[in-house]
A and B are shown apart, each in its own frame.
Chain A
Amino acid sequence: DAGVIQSPRHEVTEMGQEVTLRCKPISGHDYLFWYRQTMMRGLELLIYFNNNVPIDDSGMPEDRFSAKMPNASFSTLKIQPSEPRDSAVYFCASSLAQGFTGELFFGEGSRLTVL
């Protein structure tokens, strides 16, 4: 299996622009997570899905952030409009629940820089 695939790996944009990050989870996994990593705040869970349904979005910073999972093999995280404080590495991870014991498989991340 190719693992969790994220795109783009790097994105540089200007404040106010829309940003879309993409994720393809591992086939057969039933959970998908979006995390954000910064030096100041470490790893933050933004949202997670189970069988394409959003379960907990309490970590989404504000209404500028939205996430969708239209099918089992694709998810997007959108920021509109983007701000410099959104600069971070965004990780997608997937998991097979296994009674809540399954580990996370992370993608390589999307490094976002908002100027």
Chain B
Amino acid sequence: AQSVAQPEDQVNVAEGNPLTVKCTYSVSGNPYLFWYVQYPNRGLQFLLKYITGDNLVKGSYGFEAEFNKSQTSFHLKKPSALVSDSALYFCAVRDRGSGTYKYIFGTGTRLKVLA
């Protein structure tokens, strides 16, 4: 069965410091991996995705994520955090071998960037 784990409910980081939001996944086949961000009272917005190729994926707003197949992880990173990055972040996975279009979402990690 597919699953996604976001082990931290909340991550606090000082403005200007690097940030990491963790995600690990479990699928029977090879994954498509996604990160979304949700600001208060808004819908989720797509940040980036890993489909194939280079393990380091760059996305919107300076975010990037690294696909690590051996550790089944897809951590979200940013070199220098901004207060405006404070939001709820979701990791999602789709099993490319499943033949379905169902995403599995993690429970979300609340990022708080402190000024």
Contact = CB atoms under 8 A, between A and B. Distances in A.
Contacts of A48: 101-102
A101 B51 CA distance: 7
Contacts of B67: none
Interface size, B (range)? 20 to 34
Nearest to B90: A43
Interface residues of A: mostly helix, strand, loop or mixed? Answer: strand
Interface of A: 4, 31, 42-43, 45, 48, 50, 55-56, 91, 93, 95, 97, 100-101, 103-109
Contacts, number: 50
Contacts of B103: 45, 104
Contact of A42 (B32, B42, B100, B107): B107
Interface of B: 32, 34, 36, 41-46, 49, 51, 90, 94, 96, 100-103, 105, 107-108
